[in-house]
Amino acid sequence: MATIKLLDSGKEIKDAAEVTKYLAKHGIISQVWPAPPAWLSQKQNLTDDEKQKVLEAYKPQLENEKTQRGYVFADVISMSVNTPNIDQALAKFDKLHHHTEDEVRYIADGEGIFGFDCKDGHQFLINVSSGDYIIIPAFNWHWFLLTEKKNIKAIRLFKNNEGWVPVYKDATATQPAKA
């Protein structure tokens, strides 16, 4: 289940209902999907066949999102300490950015941190881990980091996979991971 940390006060929100309510206030949808197949956490970087198996395991959820929200494309990303050039790949997303499409992720394994920069000036972090499904609306300023474990396997959902290119506020400013 996702948890929240407010960067100005250091306050943490861990109660599931409170987390959902806080995120909804910011236009972010957070849900919990069924646990992934047990073999997934034993793997590091996934092969194309293994990625396909992950998509098949979540077919009912993906079909539902296609019908209900129009997320018609889905793929799987897999990053670990063994991923070549992982720091370069992550550097694209640790700066404040938005997308012209919603950023939609199901975290199948591992964990990550989304940071948000709100219109009123406050910032907060969402820690996501296995089982979390999150929808960040288009044009919402955010950043993304991995935790120290540097391990994540996630399904990405798109309406149009060309709209997912990051648009930076300041391409040189790395954002905080901790309060």
List of residues contacting Fe ion (CB under 5 A): 103
Least Å distance, CB 71 to Fe ion, is 15
Least Å distance, CB 53 to Fe ion, is 26
Angle between helices 59-69 and 48-57 (to 10 degrees): 70
Q: Hey, what amino acid is at 27? A: G
Least Å distance, CB 97 to Fe ion, is 6
How many whole angstroms separate alpha carbon 104 and alpha carbon 28?
10
Q: Which is nearer to Fe ion, 65 or 103 (CB)?
A: 103
Closest CA to 77 of 135, 155, 150, 146: 155
User: Do the beta carbons of residue 95 and residue 168 sit within 8 Å?
Assistant: yes
Q: Which is nearer to Fe ion, 28 or 40 (CB)?
A: 28
Least Å distance, CB 49 to Fe ion, is 27
Q: Which is nearer to Fe ion, 40 or 145 (CB)?
A: 145
Q: Which is nearer to Fe ion, 97 or 153 (CB)?
A: 97
User: Do the beta carbons of residue 95 and residue 143 sit within 8 Å?
Assistant: yes
Least Å distance, CB 142 to Fe ion, is 6
Task: Kindly calculate the radius of gyration of the chain based on its CA atoms and give it in whole angstroms.
Answer: 16
How many whole angstroms separate alpha carbon 76 and alpha carbon 91?
19
Q: Where are the alpha helices (DSSP H) in the chain?
A: 16-25, 48-57, 59-69, 86-90
Q: Which is nearer to Fe ion, 131 or 137 (CB)?
A: 137
